[in-house]
Amino acid sequence: MDTCVTIERDGNIAVVTIDNPPVNALSFRMRGPLHDALAELDGDASIQAIVLACAGRTFVSGADISEFGTEVALAKPTLLDLCAQLENLFKPAIAAIHGSALGGGLELALACHYRVADDAAKVGFPEVKLGLIPGSGGTVRLPRLTGPEKAVELIVSGAPVGAQKALDLGMIDAVANGDLVASAKALARSKATETDHPPVRVRNDLLTGTDLTAFDAAASALTKKSRGLEAPLAAVAAVRNAITLPFDEALVAERATFLKLVAGDQSRAQRHLFFAEREAGKVAGIGKDTLIRTVRKVGVIGAGLMGGGIAMAFANGGFEVVLLDMSDAAIERGFATIEKTYASSVARGSLSEDDCARRLKRFSTSTDYAVLADCDLIIEAVFEDMAVKHDVFAKLDSVAKQGAILATNTSYLDVNEIAAATSRPSDVLGLHFFSPANVMKLLEIVRTDQTSPELIATALDVARKIGKVSVVVGVCHGFVGNRMLTARGNQIEPLLLEGATPQQVDRVLTEFGFPMGPFAMLDMAGLDIGWRKRKALGQRNLIADALAEDGHYGQKTGRGYYRYEEGSRTPLPDAEVARLIDETARENGIERREISDQEILERTLYPLVNEGARILEEGIAARASDIDIVWINGYGFSIGKGGPMFWAGLEGLGKIVERLEYWHQKTGETVFEPAPLLRRLAAEGGSFTG
C-alpha cells in the first residue's frame, strides 16, 4: 500500500492516518489508498470502529485545486465515492480534525459518523470563493447537522469557523482537550459497543418542518451583494434542495451544479485569482534570505484623507503610529476624522470599545518633523505636487534614522525623482494605498531604479501584517492601476459628446460588474480636482470643465454629472447637464447619434486591456495576473470575470485587436493603437493568463 495512508490497530479500534504533504489535499494519489484502507478495515471483524486522522500540520485541507477541470479529478475513487464508502461502513468512523478541514476535507469529515476536533482547528466551506459549491455532499449533510439557515450562512460566506463555534453549531461532536487522536479513540471505543450508528444522511430532525419562507428570506439577504456571481445563488439552491428533496436526489443535484460551475468561466476566473494572489508575492530578486527590516513605529505625514486612512491601517495592524501635519488645526481635523470613523465602527458593532481604545492609544501627533527620528517606516501623504514632495523628502533625509524606510503615497508622480531629493535613494519606495486606505485591500508597492531588495521584502511583509493584498510595480505615470484607469476614462467624454448620457455609460459599466460607473465615481471624487489639474497643465475637457466652471463639483455641491438631493448620494439625471452636453456638441460641430451599449464597452474596456498589455511590455508589472489583482482589489473589477487581463482571454484577443484597429482608424486616438504584445498573443491564439 502507498505510504500516504497507513493503518494502526489498537485493540478493536483502527486509526487510519493520511499523510499527503503539504496539506493532505484530496489528490488522486491519496484517494485510492484511503479507499483500500477503509475497505480492508470494514471487512476486518476484529475492528469495531475507525478513527480517520491526518499526519503533518492539518487534517485534509481540501480538494487538490490543481486537479480541477482535469480528468484525474474525476478518476475513481472520487471524494463522492469515499464519502459514500464511509457512510456505508458496518462500523462507525470518527474524524479526528486538527489544523483545518475545509471544502472536500470537511465533506470527508461530514461523511464520518462522528467528528472530534482539537481546539485550534478550523472547519468550513470556502468553495464559493472559487466560484463553486461543495460538490460531494457538503450542502446536503451540513444542514442536517446545523439546520438549513446556519448551513446556508456558512456556505455562502465561505468563512471557516473555529472548533468551539463548530461544536455549538452541531458540526462536530466534541472538542479534544490534549491529545486529539486519543480523544477520537476514546469516542470510538464508546461508540463501538453501540449497535446503531446513524450516518448524517439519515438525520432529518433539523430539516423537517423548516419554514421555507423564512429560509428564502434569510438566503436572499445573504446573496443580496453577490453582484452577478453564480456560486452564492447555487449554494442557496443546493441547501434548499437538501430541505425539499430526498437525500440522494439532493446529492445528485448538488453534483450536477458543482460540475457545471467547475467548467464555467466564473469559477475559472476565481481560481485564476486564487493563484494570482499567491503569485503576486513572488518578486524577482527577493528570496527567503532577503533581509526583512524590523518595523515597529510608523510615521505618516499629512493628516488628510489618505494620511488618516493609512495611519488607521497601521494602528489596526498593531503598529505604533505618529501622525504629522503642518498645523495644529490640520492635525485636529485629521484626528477628529479618525476618531469619528472608529466611533462609527463601534456604533455599528464591528469594533469593540476595548479594541477602539487600544487602537487610539497607538497614535501620537505632531507638527514637528523631529518626532520622526525613531520611526522605522515613514509614509508621506501630502499634496500631489513634486515641489512639496521634494521638500518633504529633503526634510526626511535630515531627520530619519539610518535604515528607516521612506515611502511616498503619490498617485502619479515619478518616485525616482522623489527619491533623488534624498541622499539615500535605495531606502525610498512608493506605497500607493487606495481610498479609504483603512478599508481598501490593495497596496501598490512601487519599486524605483534604486530601491533595495530589503525594502521590497519588508514592504511585502508589512503589507501582509496590515491585511493588504500587495503587488510590486515599476515607476510610470499612475503605476498600474491609475494608468489603466486613465486609459479606460479616455473616451468617456467623447462618448457623451457623440450621443451617450452619463447614466447610459454608468449603467453599461455597472452591468458589466463595476460597483460604480465612471461618472458617478467622478462625482464622488469631486470634479474640481481634475479641472484644477488640467488647468495647471494647460489641458481642457469640454464637458467636465464646463461643469466645474458652473459649480458642478459633484456630490459635495449636490451637482456634478448628476444632481443629488439634500443629504442623499443617489445620482439623479440632470436635465441641465443633458442640455450642456447637447449645446457643447453643437458648438463643436459634433452630430449626436445613438450609441450602443457594445460601443461603450469597446471604447472603455478595450483600451483598458490594451494599456495593460503596454504595462506588461514595459515590465511595469511582472505578470498579467498582477494586473488582475490590482483591478480586482483596487477598482472593483468583477471577481467573476477574473480581472481585465483574464477577461480579455474570455472576450477573445483577436476580437479586441480587430475592434481596437477599427476605433483607432476612426478616432486616431493612441489608446486604441493595439500594443505589439496584444497583437502577438492574438496572432498566436494565446492569452495573457495562460
Report how far residue 250's alpha carbon sits from residue 246's, in angstroms, rounded to the nearest whole number: 6
* CB proximity list for 574: less than 8 A, separation 6 or greater: 559, 561, 562, 563
Q: Name the residue nearer to ligand NAD (CB basis): 525 or 590.
A: 525
Interacting span for ligand NAD (CB under 6 A) from 17-25, 33-41, 349-357, 406-414: 406-414
384 contributes a contact to ligand NAD by CB under 6 A: yes
Is residue 194 part of the annotated active site? The answer reads no
Residue 323 and residue 335 in contact, taking contact as beta carbons nearer than 8 Å: yes
- Are 539 and 493 contacting, i.e. CB atoms less than 8 angstroms apart? no
Residue the block writes with cell 531604479: 449
Is 435 near ligand NAD (CB under 6 A)?
yes
Residue 301 in contact with ligand NAD, rule: CB under 6 A:
yes
**Residue 470 in contact with ligand NAD, rule: CB under 6 A:** no
Residue that is written with C-alpha cell 464508546 in the block: 190
For residue 312, the minimal CB distance to ligand NAD (Å) is 13
C-alpha cell at 676: 505589439
Q: Which is nearer to ligand NAD, 173 or 325 (CB)?
A: 325
Site size with ligand NAD, rule: CB under 6 A: 25
∠ Cα 511 479 651 (to 5°)? 35
**For ligand NAD, which residue of 78, 410, 451, 452 counts as binding (CB under 6 A)?**
410
- Regarding 398 and contact with ligand NAD (CB under 6 A), the answer is no
The verdict on whether omega for the bond into residue 232 sits within 30 degrees of 0, i.e. cis, is no
**Alpha-carbon gap, residue 60 to 23, rounded angstroms:** 7
DSSP assignment of 191-250 equals: HHT-S----GGG--TTTTT--HHHHHHHHHHHTTT-TT-HHHHHHHHHHHHHHHS-HHHH
What is the nearest approach in angstroms of ligand NAD to the Cβ of residue 388?
Answer: 5
Q: Which is nearer to ligand NAD, 395 or 664 (CB)?
A: 395
Taking CB positions, which residue lies at the least distance from ligand NAD? 304
Residue 383 in the binding site for ligand NAD (CB under 6 A) = yes
Q: Is 480 helix (H, G, I), strand (E, B) or coil?
A: coil
Are 657 and 686 in contact by the 8 Å Cβ rule? The answer is no
Among 4, 382, 520, 677, binds ligand NAD (CB under 6 A): 382
Site residues for ligand NAD, 322-351, by CB under 6 A, read: 324-326, 330, 334
Q: Which of 65, 174, 305, 524 binds ligand NAD (CB under 6 A)?
A: 305
Which residue of the set 87, 127, 380, 599 is catalytic?
127
Nearer to ligand NAD, 397 or 498 (CB): 397
The answer to whether residue 411 forms part of the interface with ligand NAD (CB under 6 A) is yes
Q: Nearest to residue 580, comparing CAs of 538, 557, 552, 553?
A: 552
Active-site annotation holds for 332:
no
Indicate the residue type of 100. Answer: S
Q: Which is nearer to ligand NAD, 235 or 382 (CB)?
A: 382
> Read out DSSP for 303-339?
-SHHHHHHHHHHHHTT-EEEEE-SSHHHHHHHHHHHH
Tell me whether residue 516 or residue 546 sits nearer to ligand NAD (CB atom). 516
Residue 134 found at the interface with ligand NAD (CB under 6 A): no
302 binds ligand NAD (CB under 6 A): yes
Q: What residues make contact with ligand NAD under the rule CB under 6 A?
A: 301-307, 324-326, 330, 334, 381-384, 388, 391-392, 409-411, 433-435
Which positions are annotated as active-site residues? Answer: 107, 127
